[in-house]
Amino acid sequence: MSLVTINHNLPDAQKRLEALARKAGTIQPALKTIGLALEANIRERWDKEIDPAGNKWQALKASTLKRKAKKKKPLKILLQDDQLRFNINSQVEGSNLIIGSPQKYAAVHQLGGPAGRKGRQFTMTARPFLGISKQDEADILDEIEQHLKF
């Protein structure tokens, strides 16, 4: 399993989660709901081919488009057989929310770097799909507020 750690400083969310922990005794239900919302947001950005900051992913090279067309694969970025996109999962461990993919190639797509098989190695362009967008931050705060109302 590839592991990429992205820590975020969301002080408003932290304060609200602390308030929720005091009120409800646990934040795990809120984290589970937040995880599902973030998974949906990641897939939505994926469809738009943008990173969490809203920047377009680098376009595919002509040679990649040609190879994909020859193999009758989708010509979209980061879409070969949908294994990466549909294996974005969230889980809660204690007071931590973890979102990622078990696909072994997830990290190289997120960060870029050396890729390929023996004899056909190349440098993969980073196309970040994990991370917290402004919309994610708003959704996180909304989800926490919903849990605080109960």
For 94-145, the pLDDT digits (tens) are 888 999 999 888 999 999 999 988 888 989 999 999 999 999 999 999 999 9
- For position 149, what pLDDT does the model report? 85
- pTM, to two decimals: 0.85
- Distance, CA of 50 to CA of 39 (rounded, Å): 15
pLDDT category at 1 given cuts 50, 70, 90 is very low
Question: Does residue 30 surpass a pLDDT of 70?
Answer: yes
- DSSP secondary structure, 47-102, as one string: HHTB-TTSPBPPPPPHHHHHHHHHTT---STT-SSSTTGGG-EEEEETTEEEEE--
Single out the residue of 117, 95, 92, 91 nearest to residue 104, CA to CA. 117
pLDDT category at 8 given cuts 50, 70, 90 is low
- For position 3, what pLDDT does the model report? 47
Q: How far apart are the first and last CA of the chain?
A: 37
Question: Does residue 19 surpass a pLDDT of 70?
Answer: yes
Q: What is the mean pLDDT of the chain?
A: 89
- For position 2, what pLDDT does the model report? 44
